[in-house]
């Protein structure tokens, strides 16, 4: 049911590095300022600039990672997140009913996350688990505060002097295609890795100098190390970006990012990443409801603790939480406070996990 420790240990760093590039390309949705030249560039500006109010719809996000030259990896890594979403107001947690289906190393994970805005449920193993009210309250407060800060500061890539459309070269209109029953213009372009890394350096410089108050600056380098940048430039053999924009409203309906990497050391020989995001039924009402029955989230956490204890050689049968039925509400509340204090500091947030096993 869980990915093996060896798989996580040997693949996590490489996959995260690749996904950083993929997710960086998705930041295109937050920009757009100067006018473009040529029909394809104009369509891109219209799609990622201006105001496109999306309050509801259905999302389908698919990720596939293929690795060659590594005998220890059996088959591709695949993950799909899909389901309806709907806004509950500018400062309220949105409603959504998202399912996760992931496969790697011959193992599968199926889970889900349901939000009714005032309640949150985790689906796993055919059972729905309710997040405690006190944890949900803190999540709502954190989300509301983040929304207020964003509205007040309105920090965007454009205000940082970064234009992700400059990362694209040779954009062309491929043709007209239907996405979810809507006619769209399909635009295809290559990704200029050097231009992307130039903007990464700009962003790092702003963060490290403390110019972005909402982001931590203490341990952030002012630019990519020259050796790391050279390795990235050498490793990336191709990167393409495709966009499907509604013909009538120029609203994004689908995007796809494809990346091919050949690590300098040849281990593995090559890695191919394909990421796609599709949005359908935009601004149409979505039905999202709480499950009819649910169990306390502490029961699910107790199951995970038992699995982790067994994987690490723990007995789980004496002392600790092995037979206690999982984390208590007090532990969950302490954990939520700890994560909130940690903010964007990943190292401090990871330390909070110990509060669930005391």
Backbone angles phi, psi at 128, to 5 degrees: -100, 135
Residue 351: per-residue pLDDT? 73
**Which pLDDT score, from 0 to 100, does residue 24 have?**
44
pLDDT at 112 over 70: yes
If asked whether residues 257 and 344 sit together in one domain, one would say no
For β-strands 270-280 and 182-191, DSSP reports them as: unpaired
How far apart CA 18 and CA 239 sit, in angstroms, is 11
Same domain for 309 and 183: no
Between residues 113 and 199, the one the model is more confident about: 113
Same domain, 267 and 305: no
Which residues are within 8 A (CB) of 151 and not within 5 positions of it... i.e. 6 or more apart? 90
| Parallel, antiparallel or unpaired: strands 295-296 and 127-130 | parallel
Task: Kindly state whether residues 227 and 314 are assigned to the same domain.
Answer: no
Condensed to tens digits (0 to 9), the pLDDT of residues 121-160 reads 999 989 999 999 888 888 888 888 877 766 655 555 666 6
- Give the number of domains in the chain: 2
pLDDT at 250 over 90: yes
pLDDT in tens, 36-72: 334 899 999 899 876 788 999 999 999 999 999 877 7
Q: Report, as an integer, the average pLDDT of 313-319.
A: 41
Give me the mean pLDDT over the 258-269 stretch.
Answer: 88
| Res 96 pLDDT > 70 | yes
End residue of a domain, out of 268, 293, 318: 293
Residue 252's pLDDT is: 94
- Sign of the torsion formed by the C-alpha atoms of 199, 201, 204 and 209: negative
Report pTM: 0.71
The b/e string for 166-205 (b: 16+ C-beta within 10 A; e otherwise) is ebbeebeeeeeeebbebebbbbbbebebeebbbbbeebee
Kindly report which listed range (35-44, 211-220, 228-237) carries the lowest average pLDDT score: 211-220
Query: Based on the domain organization, do 261 and 315 belong to the same domain?
Result: no
Tell me, yes or no, whether 243 and 318 share the same domain: no
Where b means 16+ CB within 10 Å and e means fewer, 132-165 reads beebbebbbeeeeeeeeeeeeeebebeebebbbb
145 shares its domain with 204: yes
The helix or strand, by DSSP H or E, that contains position 98, with its residue range, turns out to be strand 95-104
Q: What is the mean pLDDT of residues 310-333?
A: 48
Supply the DSSP string of 17-70, one letter for each residue: HHHHHHHHHHGGGG---SPPSSHHHHHHHHHHSS-----EEEEEEEEEEEEES-
**182 shares a domain with 163:** yes
Report the residue count for the chain. 358
pLDDT score for 63: 96
Per-residue pLDDT band for 314 (boundaries 50, 70, 90) equals very low
Last residue of a domain, one of 264, 293, 322: 293
User: How far is 109 from 122, CA to CA, in rounded Å?
Assistant: 13
Same domain? For 249 and 346 the reply is: no
Is the link from the previous residue into 135 a cis peptide, with omega within 30 of 0?
A: no
**Do 251 and 150 lie in a common domain?**
yes
With 0-12 / 13-18 / 19 or more C-beta atoms within 10 angstroms meaning exposed / middle / buried, residue 309 is middle
Is residue 31 predicted with pLDDT exceeding 50? Answer: no
Which whole number is the average pLDDT over 26-38? 37
The pLDDT of residue 160 is: 65
Amino acid 151: pLDDT:
64
How many helices (H) does the chain have, and how many strands (E)?
Answer: 8, 12
Which is higher by pLDDT, 4 or 55? 55
Question: What tokens were used for 21?
Answer: 């590039």
Q: Give per-residue pLDDT as tens, 343-358.
A: 555 566 667 767 765 5
pLDDT at 232 over 70: yes
* Main-chain dihedrals φ then ψ at residue 213, nearest 5 degrees: -60, -30
What is the model's pLDDT at position 27?
A: 41
Q: Are residues 217 and 328 in the same domain?
A: no
Q: 273, 293, 313: which is the final residue of a domain?
A: 293
Supply φ then ψ for residue 25, to 5 degrees: -65, -30
Query: Distance between CA 344 and CA 119 in Å, rounded?
Result: 24
- pLDDT greater than 80 at residue 227: yes
Q: What is the pLDDT of residue 181?
A: 95
Mean pLDDT within 115-120: 94
Residue 205 confidence (pLDDT): 84
pLDDT confidence of residue 302: 77
pLDDT of 156 reads: 58
Q: Does 26 score more than 70 pLDDT?
A: no
Residue 25: band (very low, low, confident or very high) from pLDDT cuts 50, 70, 90: very low
Q: State whether 237 and 332 are in the same domain.
A: no
* Mean pLDDT along residues 165-170: 88
- pLDDT tens per residue, range 293-308: 999 988 888 776 655 5
pLDDT higher than threshold 70 for residue 309: no
- Domain of residue 338 covers 296-358
- Whether 209 shows a pLDDT value over 50: the answer reads yes
């Amino acid at each position: 049911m869980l990915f093996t420790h060896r798989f996580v240990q040997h693949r996590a760093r490489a996959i995260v590095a690749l996904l950083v590039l993929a997710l960086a390309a998705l930041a295109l949705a937050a920009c757009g300022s100067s006018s473009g030249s040529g029909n394809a560039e104009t369509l891109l500006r219209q799609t990622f600039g201006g105001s496109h109010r999306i309050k509801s719809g259905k999302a389908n996000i698919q990720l596939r990672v293929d690795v060659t030259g590594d005998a220890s990896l059996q088959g591709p890594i695949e993950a799909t997140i899909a389901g309806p979403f709907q806004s509950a107001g500018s400062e309220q947690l949105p409603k959504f009913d998202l399912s996760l289906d992931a496969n790697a190393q011959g193992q599968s994970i199926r889970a889900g996350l349901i939000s009714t805005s005032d309640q949150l449920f985790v689906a796993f193993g055919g059972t729905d688990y309710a997040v405690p009210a006190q944890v949900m309250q803190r999540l709502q407060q954190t989300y509301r505060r983040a929304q207020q800060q964003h509205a007040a500061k309105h920090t965007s890539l454009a205000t940082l002097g970064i234009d992700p459309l400059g990362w694209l070269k040779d954009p062309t209109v491929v043709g007209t295609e239907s996405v979810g029953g809507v006619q769209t213009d399909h635009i295809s372009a290559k990704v200029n890795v050097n231009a992307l890394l130039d903007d990464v350096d700009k962003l790092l410089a702003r963060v490290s100098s403390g110019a972005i108050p909402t982001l931590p600056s203490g341990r952030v380098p002012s630019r990519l190390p020259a050796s790391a940048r050279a390795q990235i430039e050498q490793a990336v053999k191709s990167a393409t970006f495709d966009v499907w924009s509604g013909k009538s409203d120029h609203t994004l309906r689908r995007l796809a990012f494809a990346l091919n990497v050949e690590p300098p050391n040849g281990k593995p020989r090559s890695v191919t990443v394909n990421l796609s995001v599709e949005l359908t039924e935009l601004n149409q009402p979505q039905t999202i409801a709480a499950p009819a029955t649910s169990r306390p989230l502490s029961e699910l956490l107790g199951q995970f603790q038992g699995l982790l204890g067994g994987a690490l050689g723990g007995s789980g049968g004496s002392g600790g939480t092995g037979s206690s039925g999982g984390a208590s509400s007090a532990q969950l509340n302490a954990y939520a406070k700890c994560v909130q204090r940690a903010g964007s500091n990943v190292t401090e947030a990871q330390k909070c996990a110990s509060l669930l096993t005391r």
